[in-house]
Amino acid sequence: MTVLQSFRARTGEPLGAPLVASTPQQIDAAVQAAAEAFEGWQSSDGATRGALLRALAQALEGDREALVALADDETALGTVRLNGELDRTAFQLRRFADIAERGVPFAWLDDPAVPGAPPAGHPAMARVQVPLGPVAMFSASNFPFAFSVPGGDTASALAAGCSLVIKAHAGHPLTSQRVHGLMQQVLQALRLPAGLIGMVQGGGNEVGTQLIRHPLIAAGAFTGSTRGGAALQAEANARPRPIPFYGELGSINPVVALPGILAAKGAELAATLAGSISLGCGQFCTSPGVIVVLDDPASDTFVAALSTALAGQNPHAMLTTGMRRAFEAGAKALVAAGARPLVNDLSDGPAPRPFLAQVDAATFIERAALHDEVFGPAALVVRATSVAQAVQVLQAVGGSLTVTLWGVEHDSAEARSLVRGATAIAGRVLFAGVPTGVAVTAAQQHGGPWPSSTQPMTTSVGDAALNRFLRPVALQDAPVWLTARQGQPC
Protein backbone atom coordinates (compact mmCIF):
# COMPACT_ATOMS: atom_id res chain seq x y z
CA MET A 1 0.00 0.00 0.00
CA THR A 2 1.42 3.39 -1.04
CA VAL A 3 0.61 6.39 1.12
CA LEU A 4 0.44 10.05 0.18
CA GLN A 5 1.05 12.79 2.75
CA SER A 6 -0.03 16.42 2.53
CA PHE A 7 2.28 19.09 3.96
CA ARG A 8 1.95 22.67 5.12
CA ALA A 9 3.85 24.55 2.42
CA ARG A 10 5.14 27.26 4.77
CA THR A 11 6.63 24.96 7.39
CA GLY A 12 6.97 21.52 5.80
CA GLU A 13 4.94 19.97 8.64
CA PRO A 14 2.56 17.10 7.79
CA LEU A 15 -1.04 18.21 7.26
CA GLY A 16 -3.79 15.75 8.06
CA ALA A 17 -3.66 11.99 8.06
CA PRO A 18 -1.80 10.12 5.31
CA LEU A 19 -3.86 9.27 2.24
CA VAL A 20 -3.78 6.00 0.35
CA ALA A 21 -2.68 6.18 -3.28
CA SER A 22 -5.04 4.70 -5.84
CA THR A 23 -4.42 1.03 -6.60
CA PRO A 24 -4.36 -0.39 -10.12
CA GLN A 25 -7.79 -1.88 -9.43
CA GLN A 26 -9.17 1.49 -8.35
CA ILE A 27 -7.74 3.22 -11.41
CA ASP A 28 -9.32 0.62 -13.66
CA ALA A 29 -12.65 0.99 -11.86
CA ALA A 30 -12.56 4.79 -12.25
CA VAL A 31 -11.91 4.52 -15.99
CA GLN A 32 -14.60 1.87 -16.40
CA ALA A 33 -17.07 4.14 -14.59
CA ALA A 34 -16.07 7.08 -16.80
CA ALA A 35 -16.63 4.99 -19.92
CA GLU A 36 -20.08 3.98 -18.71
CA ALA A 37 -20.94 7.59 -17.87
CA PHE A 38 -19.74 8.73 -21.29
CA GLU A 39 -22.33 6.55 -23.01
CA GLY A 40 -25.09 8.83 -21.81
CA TRP A 41 -23.25 12.12 -21.42
CA GLN A 42 -22.03 12.24 -25.03
CA SER A 43 -25.60 12.70 -26.25
CA SER A 44 -26.62 15.21 -23.54
CA ASP A 45 -27.91 18.55 -24.76
CA GLY A 46 -26.43 21.95 -24.08
CA ALA A 47 -28.89 22.77 -21.33
CA THR A 48 -27.95 19.64 -19.39
CA ARG A 49 -24.23 20.31 -19.73
CA GLY A 50 -24.72 23.94 -18.78
CA ALA A 51 -26.72 23.01 -15.70
CA LEU A 52 -23.90 20.78 -14.44
CA LEU A 53 -21.20 23.36 -15.06
CA ARG A 54 -23.19 26.11 -13.33
CA ALA A 55 -23.91 23.88 -10.36
CA LEU A 56 -20.20 23.06 -10.04
CA ALA A 57 -19.36 26.77 -9.99
CA GLN A 58 -21.98 27.40 -7.33
CA ALA A 59 -20.68 24.54 -5.18
CA LEU A 60 -17.14 25.96 -5.26
CA GLU A 61 -18.35 29.40 -4.25
CA GLY A 62 -20.52 27.94 -1.50
CA ASP A 63 -17.52 26.25 0.12
CA ARG A 64 -15.14 29.16 -0.53
CA GLU A 65 -13.97 29.80 3.02
CA ALA A 66 -12.98 26.21 3.80
CA LEU A 67 -11.51 25.58 0.34
CA VAL A 68 -9.32 28.68 0.35
CA ALA A 69 -8.06 28.02 3.88
CA LEU A 70 -7.14 24.43 3.03
CA ALA A 71 -5.49 25.37 -0.27
CA ASP A 72 -3.50 28.11 1.46
CA ASP A 73 -2.20 25.57 3.99
CA GLU A 74 -1.11 23.21 1.21
CA THR A 75 0.31 25.78 -1.22
CA ALA A 76 1.20 29.00 0.68
CA LEU A 77 -0.24 30.96 -2.25
CA GLY A 78 -2.13 33.33 0.05
CA THR A 79 -5.85 33.87 0.54
CA VAL A 80 -6.05 36.89 -1.77
CA ARG A 81 -4.52 34.98 -4.67
CA LEU A 82 -6.58 31.85 -3.94
CA ASN A 83 -9.86 33.73 -3.68
CA GLY A 84 -9.10 35.28 -7.05
CA GLU A 85 -8.26 31.88 -8.48
CA LEU A 86 -11.51 30.41 -7.17
CA ASP A 87 -13.37 33.29 -8.84
CA ARG A 88 -11.56 32.53 -12.10
CA THR A 89 -12.45 28.85 -11.82
CA ALA A 90 -16.14 29.60 -11.30
CA PHE A 91 -15.99 32.02 -14.23
CA GLN A 92 -14.47 29.31 -16.47
CA LEU A 93 -17.17 26.83 -15.49
CA ARG A 94 -19.94 29.32 -16.25
CA ARG A 95 -18.30 30.43 -19.49
CA PHE A 96 -18.24 26.87 -20.79
CA ALA A 97 -21.83 26.50 -19.59
CA ASP A 98 -22.68 29.41 -21.88
CA ILE A 99 -20.74 27.79 -24.72
CA ALA A 100 -22.62 24.52 -24.31
CA GLU A 101 -25.98 26.25 -24.05
CA ARG A 102 -25.30 28.25 -27.22
CA GLY A 103 -24.79 24.94 -29.04
CA VAL A 104 -21.11 25.44 -29.92
CA PRO A 105 -20.23 21.75 -29.32
CA PHE A 106 -22.98 20.79 -31.79
CA ALA A 107 -21.88 23.11 -34.59
CA TRP A 108 -22.42 21.55 -37.98
CA LEU A 109 -21.78 22.44 -41.60
CA ASP A 110 -24.56 21.58 -44.04
CA ASP A 111 -23.29 20.98 -47.58
CA PRO A 112 -26.34 20.07 -49.73
CA ALA A 113 -26.07 17.70 -52.68
CA VAL A 114 -25.07 19.10 -56.06
CA PRO A 115 -26.30 17.13 -59.12
CA GLY A 116 -23.79 15.74 -61.56
CA ALA A 117 -20.55 13.84 -61.50
CA PRO A 118 -17.51 14.86 -59.45
CA PRO A 119 -15.72 17.16 -59.15
CA ALA A 120 -18.57 19.64 -59.59
CA GLY A 121 -21.28 17.32 -58.27
CA HIS A 122 -21.28 15.66 -54.87
CA PRO A 123 -23.66 13.89 -52.48
CA ALA A 124 -25.29 15.59 -49.50
CA MET A 125 -22.70 16.12 -46.78
CA ALA A 126 -22.91 17.39 -43.23
CA ARG A 127 -19.85 17.98 -41.07
CA VAL A 128 -20.49 17.48 -37.35
CA GLN A 129 -18.45 17.12 -34.16
CA VAL A 130 -18.47 14.21 -31.73
CA PRO A 131 -16.89 14.02 -28.24
CA LEU A 132 -13.76 11.90 -28.00
CA GLY A 133 -14.61 9.84 -24.91
CA PRO A 134 -13.20 9.55 -21.38
CA VAL A 135 -10.37 12.03 -20.79
CA ALA A 136 -7.40 11.53 -18.44
CA MET A 137 -6.82 14.95 -16.89
CA PHE A 138 -3.62 15.71 -14.96
CA SER A 139 -3.91 18.53 -12.42
CA ALA A 140 -1.28 21.26 -12.13
CA SER A 141 0.75 21.97 -9.02
CA ASN A 142 0.65 25.75 -9.10
CA PHE A 143 -3.10 26.33 -9.55
CA PRO A 144 -5.06 24.20 -7.03
CA PHE A 145 -8.37 25.36 -8.51
CA ALA A 146 -8.05 26.88 -12.00
CA PHE A 147 -5.82 24.16 -13.51
CA SER A 148 -6.74 21.39 -11.13
CA VAL A 149 -9.71 19.15 -10.35
CA PRO A 150 -12.39 21.75 -11.24
CA GLY A 151 -10.26 23.71 -13.72
CA GLY A 152 -10.37 24.69 -17.36
CA ASP A 153 -9.68 21.20 -18.74
CA THR A 154 -12.54 19.81 -16.67
CA ALA A 155 -14.91 22.58 -17.78
CA SER A 156 -14.07 22.30 -21.49
CA ALA A 157 -14.16 18.49 -21.54
CA LEU A 158 -17.56 18.35 -19.84
CA ALA A 159 -18.91 21.01 -22.19
CA ALA A 160 -17.67 18.94 -25.15
CA GLY A 161 -19.57 15.89 -23.90
CA CYS A 162 -16.65 13.93 -22.43
CA SER A 163 -16.30 12.22 -19.08
CA LEU A 164 -13.12 12.54 -17.00
CA VAL A 165 -10.76 10.70 -14.71
CA ILE A 166 -8.68 13.34 -12.93
CA LYS A 167 -5.21 12.64 -11.57
CA ALA A 168 -4.99 14.88 -8.50
CA HIS A 169 -1.67 16.61 -7.89
CA ALA A 170 0.35 15.40 -4.92
CA GLY A 171 1.12 19.01 -3.95
CA HIS A 172 -2.43 19.67 -2.74
CA PRO A 173 -4.16 16.30 -2.22
CA LEU A 174 -6.53 17.43 0.55
CA THR A 175 -7.80 20.38 -1.48
CA SER A 176 -8.31 18.06 -4.44
CA GLN A 177 -10.23 15.58 -2.31
CA ARG A 178 -12.50 18.25 -0.89
CA VAL A 179 -13.25 19.73 -4.31
CA HIS A 180 -13.93 16.31 -5.79
CA GLY A 181 -16.30 15.55 -2.92
CA LEU A 182 -18.25 18.72 -3.75
CA MET A 183 -18.40 17.70 -7.41
CA GLN A 184 -19.73 14.28 -6.47
CA GLN A 185 -22.47 15.93 -4.41
CA VAL A 186 -23.45 18.01 -7.44
CA LEU A 187 -23.57 14.92 -9.67
CA GLN A 188 -25.78 13.15 -7.14
CA ALA A 189 -28.13 16.14 -6.84
CA LEU A 190 -28.49 16.30 -10.63
CA ARG A 191 -28.93 12.50 -10.84
CA LEU A 192 -25.86 12.12 -13.00
CA PRO A 193 -23.49 9.14 -12.70
CA ALA A 194 -20.63 9.50 -10.24
CA GLY A 195 -18.22 8.17 -12.86
CA LEU A 196 -18.73 11.25 -15.01
CA ILE A 197 -16.03 12.99 -12.93
CA GLY A 198 -13.69 10.42 -11.40
CA MET A 199 -10.48 11.07 -9.50
CA VAL A 200 -7.35 9.06 -8.70
CA GLN A 201 -4.28 10.05 -6.72
CA GLY A 202 -0.68 9.09 -6.09
CA GLY A 203 2.69 10.71 -5.61
CA GLY A 204 4.77 8.75 -8.12
CA ASN A 205 4.61 8.08 -11.85
CA GLU A 206 2.74 4.79 -11.63
CA VAL A 207 -0.78 6.20 -11.27
CA GLY A 208 -0.45 8.61 -14.18
CA THR A 209 1.20 6.03 -16.40
CA GLN A 210 -1.50 3.43 -15.79
CA LEU A 211 -4.19 6.04 -16.38
CA ILE A 212 -2.86 7.20 -19.75
CA ARG A 213 -2.27 3.60 -20.86
CA HIS A 214 -5.83 2.46 -20.10
CA PRO A 215 -7.46 1.33 -23.37
CA LEU A 216 -10.73 3.13 -22.56
CA ILE A 217 -9.06 6.53 -22.18
CA ALA A 218 -9.57 8.57 -25.36
CA ALA A 219 -7.39 11.65 -24.69
CA GLY A 220 -5.02 13.15 -22.15
CA ALA A 221 -4.82 16.74 -20.85
CA PHE A 222 -1.82 17.83 -18.79
CA THR A 223 -0.40 20.97 -17.20
CA GLY A 224 3.07 20.65 -15.70
CA SER A 225 6.74 20.17 -16.39
CA THR A 226 8.31 19.42 -19.75
CA ARG A 227 9.83 16.25 -18.40
CA GLY A 228 6.56 14.93 -16.97
CA GLY A 229 4.55 15.92 -20.01
CA ALA A 230 7.03 14.38 -22.42
CA ALA A 231 6.93 11.07 -20.53
CA LEU A 232 3.13 10.95 -20.62
CA GLN A 233 3.04 11.95 -24.29
CA ALA A 234 5.40 9.07 -25.04
CA GLU A 235 3.02 6.71 -23.23
CA ALA A 236 0.05 8.09 -25.17
CA ASN A 237 1.88 7.57 -28.47
CA ALA A 238 3.14 4.08 -27.54
CA ARG A 239 -0.33 2.64 -26.94
CA PRO A 240 -1.63 0.07 -29.44
CA ARG A 241 -4.15 2.77 -30.33
CA PRO A 242 -2.40 6.11 -29.79
CA ILE A 243 -4.50 8.96 -28.41
CA PRO A 244 -4.19 12.76 -28.53
CA PHE A 245 -2.27 14.22 -25.62
CA TYR A 246 -2.68 17.91 -24.89
CA GLY A 247 0.22 18.97 -22.68
CA GLU A 248 0.95 22.51 -21.52
CA LEU A 249 4.59 22.27 -20.47
CA GLY A 250 7.55 24.49 -19.62
CA SER A 251 8.08 27.98 -20.99
CA ILE A 252 10.66 30.75 -20.52
CA ASN A 253 8.49 33.55 -22.01
CA PRO A 254 11.07 35.97 -23.47
CA VAL A 255 10.65 39.72 -23.10
CA VAL A 256 12.38 41.83 -25.76
CA ALA A 257 12.86 45.47 -24.66
CA LEU A 258 14.14 48.01 -27.20
CA PRO A 259 16.24 51.06 -26.24
CA GLY A 260 13.63 53.69 -27.13
CA ILE A 261 10.99 52.54 -24.68
CA LEU A 262 13.62 51.85 -22.00
CA ALA A 263 14.93 55.40 -22.31
CA ALA A 264 11.37 56.72 -21.94
CA LYS A 265 10.14 54.61 -19.01
CA GLY A 266 12.77 52.07 -18.08
CA ALA A 267 12.38 52.50 -14.31
CA GLU A 268 8.65 51.87 -14.48
CA LEU A 269 9.10 48.82 -16.69
CA ALA A 270 11.83 47.44 -14.41
CA ALA A 271 9.52 47.62 -11.37
CA THR A 272 6.68 45.99 -13.28
CA LEU A 273 8.90 43.23 -14.61
CA ALA A 274 10.41 42.49 -11.18
CA GLY A 275 6.90 42.04 -9.79
CA SER A 276 6.01 39.69 -12.63
CA ILE A 277 9.14 37.56 -12.16
CA SER A 278 8.46 37.07 -8.44
CA LEU A 279 4.64 36.91 -8.62
CA GLY A 280 3.42 33.76 -6.91
CA CYS A 281 7.08 32.95 -6.17
CA GLY A 282 7.62 32.66 -9.92
CA GLN A 283 5.41 29.56 -10.06
CA PHE A 284 3.53 30.62 -13.19
CA CYS A 285 3.82 28.97 -16.58
CA THR A 286 3.96 32.50 -18.06
CA SER A 287 6.61 33.89 -15.70
CA PRO A 288 9.15 35.93 -17.74
CA GLY A 289 12.39 33.97 -17.69
CA VAL A 290 14.48 35.63 -20.42
CA ILE A 291 14.90 39.40 -20.84
CA VAL A 292 16.49 40.40 -24.16
CA VAL A 293 18.02 43.88 -24.36
CA LEU A 294 20.47 45.57 -26.71
CA ASP A 295 23.93 46.84 -25.80
CA ASP A 296 23.25 50.54 -25.13
CA PRO A 297 23.12 52.99 -22.17
CA ALA A 298 19.32 52.79 -21.75
CA SER A 299 19.54 49.02 -21.41
CA ASP A 300 22.37 49.34 -18.88
CA THR A 301 20.24 51.62 -16.73
CA PHE A 302 17.24 49.33 -17.10
CA VAL A 303 19.15 46.19 -16.07
CA ALA A 304 20.52 48.01 -13.02
CA ALA A 305 17.00 49.12 -12.06
CA LEU A 306 15.65 45.61 -12.60
CA SER A 307 18.36 44.16 -10.39
CA THR A 308 17.53 46.59 -7.60
CA ALA A 309 13.78 46.05 -7.91
CA LEU A 310 14.10 42.26 -8.01
CA ALA A 311 16.45 42.18 -5.01
CA GLY A 312 13.73 43.99 -3.05
CA GLN A 313 11.09 41.35 -3.74
CA ASN A 314 10.16 38.90 -0.97
CA PRO A 315 8.61 35.76 -2.50
CA HIS A 316 6.62 33.38 -0.35
CA ALA A 317 7.44 29.71 0.17
CA MET A 318 7.40 27.44 -2.87
CA LEU A 319 4.75 24.78 -3.32
CA THR A 320 6.92 21.82 -2.35
CA THR A 321 10.40 21.14 -1.02
CA GLY A 322 11.15 19.35 -4.29
CA MET A 323 10.36 22.46 -6.29
CA ARG A 324 12.48 24.51 -3.91
CA ARG A 325 15.48 22.24 -4.51
CA ALA A 326 14.86 22.29 -8.26
CA PHE A 327 14.85 26.10 -8.24
CA GLU A 328 18.26 26.25 -6.56
CA ALA A 329 19.63 23.63 -8.92
CA GLY A 330 18.28 25.48 -11.95
CA ALA A 331 19.84 28.78 -10.89
CA LYS A 332 23.20 27.10 -10.33
CA ALA A 333 22.94 25.40 -13.73
CA LEU A 334 22.59 28.78 -15.47
CA VAL A 335 25.76 29.98 -13.75
CA ALA A 336 27.57 26.78 -14.67
CA ALA A 337 26.54 27.32 -18.29
CA GLY A 338 28.15 30.76 -18.40
CA ALA A 339 25.65 33.25 -16.98
CA ARG A 340 26.96 35.93 -14.60
CA PRO A 341 24.82 36.44 -11.47
CA LEU A 342 23.38 39.91 -10.85
CA VAL A 343 21.02 39.05 -7.99
CA ASN A 344 22.08 35.86 -6.24
CA ASP A 345 21.18 35.88 -2.56
CA LEU A 346 20.38 32.18 -2.16
CA SER A 347 18.58 31.28 1.06
CA ASP A 348 18.17 28.07 3.03
CA GLY A 349 14.70 29.00 4.29
CA PRO A 350 11.37 27.78 2.88
CA ALA A 351 11.05 30.93 0.75
CA PRO A 352 13.69 31.38 -1.97
CA ARG A 353 15.31 34.69 -2.84
CA PRO A 354 14.99 36.04 -6.40
CA PHE A 355 17.71 35.19 -8.88
CA LEU A 356 18.86 37.24 -11.87
CA ALA A 357 21.82 36.56 -14.15
CA GLN A 358 23.18 37.96 -17.39
CA VAL A 359 24.79 36.49 -20.50
CA ASP A 360 25.68 37.68 -23.99
CA ALA A 361 23.44 36.61 -26.84
CA ALA A 362 26.08 34.56 -28.65
CA THR A 363 26.64 32.40 -25.57
CA PHE A 364 22.89 32.03 -25.02
CA ILE A 365 22.33 30.92 -28.61
CA GLU A 366 25.19 28.43 -28.45
CA ARG A 367 24.45 26.75 -25.09
CA ALA A 368 21.18 24.83 -24.80
CA ALA A 369 21.48 24.63 -21.01
CA LEU A 370 20.71 28.37 -20.87
CA HIS A 371 17.32 27.77 -22.53
CA ASP A 372 15.93 25.63 -19.70
CA GLU A 373 13.09 26.93 -17.57
CA VAL A 374 13.96 27.68 -13.94
CA PHE A 375 10.61 27.28 -12.16
CA GLY A 376 10.57 30.02 -9.54
CA PRO A 377 11.50 33.72 -9.16
CA ALA A 378 14.40 33.65 -11.63
CA ALA A 379 15.26 35.36 -14.92
CA LEU A 380 18.17 35.64 -17.33
CA VAL A 381 19.13 38.90 -19.06
CA VAL A 382 20.46 38.30 -22.58
CA ARG A 383 22.51 41.13 -24.12
CA ALA A 384 22.20 41.30 -27.92
CA THR A 385 24.26 43.47 -30.26
CA SER A 386 21.39 44.12 -32.69
CA VAL A 387 17.73 43.46 -33.38
CA ALA A 388 18.82 40.75 -35.82
CA GLN A 389 20.66 38.98 -33.02
CA ALA A 390 17.66 39.42 -30.72
CA VAL A 391 15.61 37.53 -33.31
CA GLN A 392 18.26 34.80 -33.28
CA VAL A 393 17.80 34.55 -29.51
CA LEU A 394 14.08 33.96 -30.03
CA GLN A 395 14.86 31.31 -32.63
CA ALA A 396 17.17 29.59 -30.14
CA VAL A 397 14.35 29.44 -27.58
CA GLY A 398 12.36 27.36 -30.08
CA GLY A 399 8.95 27.43 -28.41
CA SER A 400 7.25 29.48 -25.72
CA LEU A 401 3.77 30.18 -24.42
CA THR A 402 4.42 33.91 -24.75
CA VAL A 403 6.80 36.51 -26.15
CA THR A 404 6.56 40.14 -25.03
CA LEU A 405 7.80 42.93 -27.31
CA TRP A 406 8.35 46.36 -25.76
CA GLY A 407 9.04 49.25 -28.14
CA VAL A 408 7.60 48.17 -31.51
CA GLU A 409 4.74 50.70 -31.57
CA HIS A 410 5.83 52.09 -34.95
CA ASP A 411 6.13 50.19 -38.22
CA SER A 412 9.67 49.48 -39.32
CA ALA A 413 11.69 46.66 -40.82
CA GLU A 414 13.11 45.84 -37.40
CA ALA A 415 9.66 45.86 -35.75
CA ARG A 416 8.31 43.51 -38.41
CA SER A 417 11.30 41.23 -37.98
CA LEU A 418 10.67 41.01 -34.23
CA VAL A 419 6.96 40.33 -34.73
CA ARG A 420 7.77 37.56 -37.21
CA GLY A 421 10.29 36.08 -34.81
CA ALA A 422 7.85 36.24 -31.88
CA THR A 423 4.88 34.73 -33.70
CA ALA A 424 7.10 31.92 -35.01
CA ILE A 425 7.77 30.61 -31.51
CA ALA A 426 4.87 31.70 -29.28
CA GLY A 427 1.14 31.20 -28.92
CA ARG A 428 0.59 34.68 -27.47
CA VAL A 429 2.55 37.83 -28.32
CA LEU A 430 2.21 40.85 -26.02
CA PHE A 431 3.03 44.43 -26.97
CA ALA A 432 2.39 45.96 -23.55
CA GLY A 433 2.38 44.74 -19.97
CA VAL A 434 3.81 41.44 -18.73
CA PRO A 435 2.91 37.84 -19.61
CA THR A 436 1.72 36.71 -16.16
CA GLY A 437 -2.07 36.65 -16.21
CA VAL A 438 -3.95 34.67 -18.87
CA ALA A 439 -7.41 35.94 -19.79
CA VAL A 440 -10.19 33.39 -20.32
CA THR A 441 -11.70 34.72 -23.52
CA ALA A 442 -12.59 33.89 -27.09
CA ALA A 443 -9.32 34.95 -28.74
CA GLN A 444 -6.94 33.47 -26.16
CA GLN A 445 -4.20 31.08 -27.29
CA HIS A 446 -2.40 29.37 -24.42
CA GLY A 447 -0.02 27.00 -26.11
CA GLY A 448 2.92 27.20 -28.47
CA PRO A 449 5.61 25.14 -30.19
CA TRP A 450 7.58 22.56 -28.23
CA PRO A 451 8.63 22.69 -25.43
CA SER A 452 5.79 24.97 -24.35
CA SER A 453 3.12 22.50 -25.42
CA THR A 454 2.65 19.18 -27.21
CA GLN A 455 -0.07 20.43 -29.58
CA PRO A 456 0.69 24.03 -30.67
CA MET A 457 -2.51 24.20 -32.75
CA THR A 458 -4.62 23.98 -29.59
CA THR A 459 -5.12 26.07 -26.45
CA SER A 460 -5.70 25.05 -22.84
CA VAL A 461 -7.27 28.42 -21.94
CA GLY A 462 -10.15 30.23 -23.63
CA ASP A 463 -13.17 29.20 -25.64
CA ALA A 464 -11.20 27.20 -28.22
CA ALA A 465 -10.07 24.77 -25.48
CA LEU A 466 -13.35 22.98 -26.24
CA ASN A 467 -12.03 21.85 -29.64
CA ARG A 468 -9.42 19.55 -28.09
CA PHE A 469 -12.14 17.13 -27.00
CA LEU A 470 -14.24 17.09 -30.18
CA ARG A 471 -13.56 15.18 -33.40
CA PRO A 472 -15.06 16.14 -36.78
CA VAL A 473 -17.13 13.57 -38.69
CA ALA A 474 -18.66 13.91 -42.16
CA LEU A 475 -22.16 12.44 -42.62
CA GLN A 476 -22.88 11.57 -46.26
CA ASP A 477 -26.45 11.11 -47.49
CA ALA A 478 -27.59 10.90 -43.86
CA PRO A 479 -31.26 10.06 -43.19
CA VAL A 480 -33.65 12.89 -42.40
CA TRP A 481 -33.97 11.95 -38.71
CA LEU A 482 -30.20 12.28 -38.26
CA THR A 483 -29.80 15.57 -40.12
CA ALA A 484 -32.74 16.92 -38.12
CA ARG A 485 -30.59 16.62 -34.98
CA GLN A 486 -28.46 19.48 -36.37
CA GLY A 487 -25.20 18.17 -34.94
CA GLN A 488 -26.53 16.86 -31.62
CA PRO A 489 -24.84 13.45 -31.04
CA CYS A 490 -27.26 10.55 -30.84
Residues assigned a catalytic role: 248, 285
Instruction: Look at phi and psi of residue 36 and say left if phi exceeds 0, alpha if psi is from -120 to 50, else beta.
Output: alpha
Which amino acid makes up residue 286? T
- Yes or no: say if 137 and 157 are a contact pair by the CB < 8 Å rule: yes
Q: What is the DSSP string of 403-437?
A: EEEES--S--HHHHHHHHHHHHHEEEEESSS-S--
Let me know: does 133 contact 162? Beta carbons within 8 Å: yes
Bridge partners, residue 405, by sequence: 256
Length of the chain counted residue by residue: 490
Return the DSSP state at 149.
T
Is 257 strand, coil or helix? strand
Q: How many CB atoms lie within 10 A of CB 178?
A: 17
Q: Phi and psi for 183 in degrees, rounded to 5? A: -65, -35
Which of 487, 423, 428 is CA-nearest to residue 459? 428
Calculate ∠ Cα 86-92-97, nearest 5°: 130
Integer-rounded Cα radius of gyration of the chain? 24
Helix (H, G, I), strand (E, B) or coil at 130: strand
Among the listed residues 353, 360, 354, the one whose alpha carbon sits nearest the alpha carbon of residue 339: 360
What spatial distance separates the first Cα and last Cα of the chain, rounded to whole Å?
A: 42
